[in-house]
A and B are shown apart, each in its own frame.
Chain A
């Protein structure tokens, strides 16, 4: 049986998944993606994992090292110079 190309096209499906998250799909795209997701377990996983990434990202730990004394001294210097 000859299947339509979009059934195998996960590259396009994953692209549509990303755009769907921001609700910018046209009706035809939405339908094709819906049909693809019914048939493709990998892209269903991709969608769930992509959502998880979006949920985790805002809370990712920030490696932060405070400004060093040397930096502060340099800022001070520049300001004093600029004020002169």
Chain B
């Protein structure tokens, strides 16, 4: 259960708290447990509910923070597009070399995970629900109480930032040595 929660909230303290709350809710409601499902799946149903509450709270908190700090007129921390909407020269997507082997693929995934951590909270949350856990857009909107328009703004911004972050850290990095020096 802890692993399940941790994979979703990526924070030890919050995950531990969710597990704790699940146990306590389960104890409080144990009279209602009729043994129709296994105890294990019953606990996971409770944990899922706790997670949805947690996401909602996070989305609300992030919305308040972002309203204060985010610049309204551009998508990411620094502008990507000019006034006519065209890519700025320094930000235009470059051609990426294909990731040939498993090692390169792994490296790309590692960079992507690191880039995800740098996204603003709400974008990080929406990206993880949509693309890591692959939940349908409509379900995420409902779960996080987002309008479809807001959802797409967040997805668009998250993708723009991640693409830029990956390009910087993958393209710029020197190629990995193929044989280990020793």
Contact = CB atoms under 8 A, between A and B. Distances in A.
A83 B162 CA distance: 47
Contacts of B80: 11
23 contacts: A9-B84, A10-B81, A10-B87, A11-B81, A15-B156, A18-B159, A54-B131, A57-B112, A57-B131, A58-B132, A60-B132, A61-B113, A63-B113, A64-B6, A66-B2, A67-B19, A74-B20, A75-B16, A75-B20, A78-B23, A78-B24, A79-B27, A83-B27
A53 B166 contact: yes
Interface stretch (B37-45, B46-54, B57-65, B89-97): B89-97
Contacts of B127: 57
Nearest to B128: A57
Interface in B124-182: 127, 131-134, 137, 152, 155-156, 159-160, 162-163, 166-167
B160 A14 contact: yes
Nearest to A71: B16
Contacts of B155: 18
Contacts of A53: 112, 131, 159, 162-163, 166
B157 to A, nearest CB: 10
Interface of B: 2-3, 6-7, 10, 12, 16, 19-20, 23-24, 27-28, 75, 80-81, 84-87, 92-96, 105-106, 108-110, 112-113, 116, 127, 131-134, 137, 152, 155-156, 159-160, 162-163, 166-167
B109 A60 contact: yes
* Chain A at the B interface: SS class: helix
B156 A18 contact: yes
Interface in A40-63: 42-43, 45-46, 49-50, 52-54, 56-63
A24 to B, nearest CB: 8
A75 to B, nearest CB: 6
A65 B12 contact: yes
Contacts of B3: 64, 66
Contact of B86 (A8, A22, A62): A8
Nearest to A82: B27
Interface in A14-38: 14-15, 18-19, 22
Given A58-B133, A63-B113, 14 more contacts: A14-B156, A14-B160, A18-B156, A42-B87, A45-B93, A45-B94, A57-B132, A58-B134, A60-B110, A64-B7, A71-B19, A74-B16, A78-B23, A82-B24
